Amino acid sequence: MPPFLLTAATSPLAVATAHHLVRLGHDVVALARNPARATELPPGVEVLEVDLSDPAAIDRLSLPEVAGVMHLAGILRASAHPVPHGWADGPDHVDLTWATNVLGPLRLVHRLLPTLPDGAPVALISGSTHRRAPLPDARFASTGFRAGLQATTAKVMWARALARRRPDLVATTFCPGRVESGLHRGLPWPLSWLGALAALSARDATEVAPVLVPLLLHGHTSGTYLEAGVRSAPAPHTSDEALQDAVWDRVASWAKA
């Protein structure tokens, strides 16, 4: 059986997920911006180097045939400035948050779609924050913190569009709950202090993965949104099929760029 492809190989959730998949007898290929830091993955996991904020790097990546793909980090790189390299769309640019959380990962999935087998899981981390962040359109024009919130909404809508277009796949967006990630250690004060407080009530990724992985592999219909391991109705504003299609088209146009 082909391996499962995981993004964000250095994140605690990706590491715990890889270990659980290997224990279940699956092979795993993981992606990392800096493979040298991916030291906690189980033996035998192949790590491919790619920066998901760089579309050219995504297009150069030699991808194996895979059994499914799981995007397992909500913020792969903090948004340091509003104009990332490489993601120009005509005269405008998108915030780095959109590049690393939506356009990069979904460009990767678009490359894989023609070869994914029937029943393959396509799982995207989202968040309960999508309930408070309606997407006004598919321009992805917001920046900073608001871009991070709306990116969770865009992924829910894109997955629902995928479920309509490819009923042979199992598209899922999920909020794993509060999982310890250590990201707050790299944030400036006072965000680092607030992140440290939030981490006190976060769950360890090794507790989350055994619950999450079986749900992502089977047991629900395509287009499902999972919150803390429970099937949940996504926010009503994600049901707009016209906007779902606009998000899909926006991503597809970038994927072909």
Written as tens digits, the pLDDT of the chain (257 aa) is 899 999 989 888 899 999 999 999 999 999 999 999 999 999 999 999 998 888 888 889 999 999 999 998 754 443 344 434 444 443 346 778 888 889 989 999 999 999 999 999 999 999 888 999 999 999 898 887 788 889 999 999 999 999 999 999 999 999 887 665 554 445 555 555 455 545 555 677 888 888 888 888 876 788 999 988 888 999 999 999 999 999 999 888 876 55
Amino acid 216: pLDDT: 84
SS3 129: helix
b/e map of 77-104 (b: 16 or more CB within 10 Å)?
A: bebeeeebeebeeeeebbbbbbbbbbbb
Are 111 and 255 in contact by the 8 Å Cβ rule? The answer is yes
Amino acid 78: pLDDT: 38
Amino acid 80: pLDDT: 40
Torsion angle in degrees (nearest 10) through CA of 50, 161, 170, 20: 40
Type of residue numbered 35: P
Type of residue numbered 221: T
Q: To 5 degrees, how large is the angle CA 183–CA 69–CA 123?
A: 70
CATH of 4-255, one of 1.10.132.50, 3.30.420.40, 3.40.50.720, 1.10.357.10: 3.40.50.720
Are 170 and 220 in contact by the 8 Å Cβ rule? The answer is yes
Amino acid 85: pLDDT: 42
Amino acid 189: pLDDT: 53
Amino acid 168: pLDDT: 93
Amino acid 230: pLDDT: 86
Please state whether the predicted TM-score (pTM) of the whole model is above 0.85: yes
Task: In the chain, count H helices and then E strands.
Answer: 8, 8
Q: What does each C-alpha distance from 163 to 64, 120, 184, 208, 233 come to in angstroms?
A: 23, 12, 34, 25, 15
Amino acid 89: pLDDT: 45
Amino acid 182: pLDDT: 57
Amino acid 219: pLDDT: 60
